Amino acid sequence: MEAMTVAWTVAGVGMALVYWFVWVMGAAEVKGKRAVDLKMGSITNDKVRDKYTQYWSFFRRPKETATTEASAEKVPAFVDTFYNLVTDIYEWGWGQSFHFSPSLPGRSHREATRVHEERVSDLLGAKPGHRLLDVGCGVGGPMRAIAAHSGSHVVGITINEYQVNRARTHNNKAGLDSRCEVVCGNFLSMPFADASFDGAYSIEATCHAPRLQDVYGEIFRVLRPGGLYVSYEWVTTSLYRADNSEHVDAIHGIERGDALPGLRRQDEIASIAKEVGFEVLKELDLALPPALPWWTRLKMGRIAYWRNSLVVRVLTMLRIAPKGVSEVHEMLYETAQHLTRGGETGIFTPMHMVLLSKPAAATDTK
């Protein structure tokens, strides 16, 4: 009798834990995505593993993806595949803002994220009546924060159709769909008229472009003369050494696990901006002291990792989640380790900020 009682107790506790981790545990920031709702974007369940394999094969040598015109042209499609694979996992485990931010003493990660986004709005001098462009908007976390903070109308563009639908759903729930618009498109060839935006920003998004000149040129084109552009760039710093195998391994891991066709150097950004016609008003690595480490959130404890991994594996076994999700989760965990090493060694920053201006007399689109 006692053995039966113990067995039922263990079973009850086990079911309660599964219920908590799978059905209750939602996104880190806003519970808009539960573990049982994990999808691989617009990829059908039977194609997830194949798409993951194709992605991994293409980005196994990241810098080679941009060495020829033919391979560079394939990058946008594989970036789209990447976001089909990771968007729901990002929302479940991270939140609706797919970027990093410096930690703030006594403030939550959510508050630090909002401050980091509102800084963009303040740098742009955004206000009611302005029309802003969010270049690479994801599911729209920054867009909503900036629209709410500034009163501006924000138009976001993302290459991923699944993210468009997620962003529109979130905009509606937040009561901001009248001020937040989302368009599906490639930021290397945007479907917007010349000089149609008062300001623009990109938060850790232009790193997906094979050539930064191309996306900066498009942003320059759609900005009105005198308009401002703020970007948070993923770059290697002056501490990176190409002859250091540990440095190379960390940067290669970041590129491979985040669909990046080769990270740019920190000292390249301003010159590229000037090349397309921008004036550089300010340039600053927001990760430098007195800022606190941005990689704190990535230092997931081993127990937390195995918990999430167990959830994903159980969901896959029960056919609630498609085959291939475990591999994607593992890839993101390994990438987090590379990002952490990049931050701790100081060889990488995801928040090299540039504030650029399109000259008031500018007439050329490039």
Amino acid 366: pLDDT? 46
Domain ranges of the chain: 37-366
Average pLDDT in the chain? 89
Q: Model confidence at 306, in pLDDT bands (50, 70, 90)?
A: confident
Interval 189-240: pLDDT, tens: 999 999 999 999 999 999 999 999 999 999 999 999 999 999 999 999 999 9
Interval 344-356: pLDDT, tens: 999 999 999 999 9
Amino acid 39: pLDDT? 84
Nearest by Cα to 187 from 165, 170, 212: 212
What single letter denotes the amino acid at residue 2?
E
Sign of CA dihedral 217, 349, 335, 61: positive
Mean pLDDT of the region 292-302: 82
Amino acid 121: pLDDT? 98
H/E element, 338: helix 325-345
Give the span between the Cα atoms of 355 and 231, in whole angstroms: 7
Q: Model confidence at 17, in pLDDT bands (50, 70, 90)?
A: low
Mean pLDDT of the region 254-275: 97
pLDDT > 90: what percent of the chain?
72
Using the predicted structure, report yes or no on whether residue 244 has a pLDDT greater than 70. yes
Supply the DSSP symbol for 273: H
Q: Model confidence at 7, in pLDDT bands (50, 70, 90)?
A: low
Amino acid 1: pLDDT? 53
Contact 110, 43 (CB under 8 A): no
Using the predicted structure, report yes or no on whether residue 26 has a pLDDT greater than 50. no
Contact 180, 154 (CB under 8 A): yes
Sequence-distant (6+) residues with CB within 8 A of 5 are none
Total number of residues shown for the chain? 366
What single letter denotes the amino acid at residue 164?
V
Number of Cβ within a 10 Å radius of residue 143? 30
Give the span between the Cα atoms of 232 and 204, in whole angstroms: 5
Mean pLDDT of the region 304-308: 75
Q: Cα 110 to the chain's mean position, in Å? A: 15
Amino acid 52: pLDDT? 94
Which is more confidently placed, 71 or 245?
245
Amino acid 261: pLDDT? 95
Which is more confidently placed, 228 or 314?
228
Amino acid 190: pLDDT? 98
Amino acid 364: pLDDT? 52
Q: Model confidence at 14, in pLDDT bands (50, 70, 90)?
A: low
Amino acid 348: pLDDT? 98
Sequence-distant (6+) residues with CB within 8 A of 349 are 234, 235, 237, 266, 285, 286, 287, 288, 343
Give the span between the Cα atoms of 112 and 107, in whole angstroms: 6
Using the predicted structure, report yes or no on whether residue 176 has a pLDDT greater than 60. yes
Q: What predicted TM-score, i.e. pTM, was given to this entire model?
A: 0.90
The DSSP annotation for 80-91 comes to: HHHHHHHHHHHH
Contact 153, 130 (CB under 8 A): yes
Amino acid 9: pLDDT? 61
Interval 102-138: pLDDT, tens: 999 989 889 999 999 999 999 999 999 999 999 999 9
Mean pLDDT of the region 269-283: 98
pLDDT > 70: what percent of the chain?
88
Nearest by Cα to 340 from 352, 331, 350: 350
Give the span between the Cα atoms of 8 and 15, in whole angstroms: 10
Degrees to nearest 5, angle at CA 205 with 200 and 207: 120
Highest mean pLDDT among 39-43, 324-328, 340-344 belongs to 340-344
Which CATH superfamily hosts domain 37-366? Vaccinia Virus protein VP39 (3.40.50.150)
Cis peptide before 290 (omega within 30 of 0): yes
Q: Model confidence at 27, in pLDDT bands (50, 70, 90)?
A: very low
Mean pLDDT of the region 262-285: 98
Supply the DSSP symbol for 62: G
Amino acid 257: pLDDT? 96
DSSP 3-state of 4: helix
**Considering only 32-36, 64-68, 94-98, 296-300, which range has the smallest mean pLDDT?**
32-36
What single letter denotes the amino acid at residue 59?
F
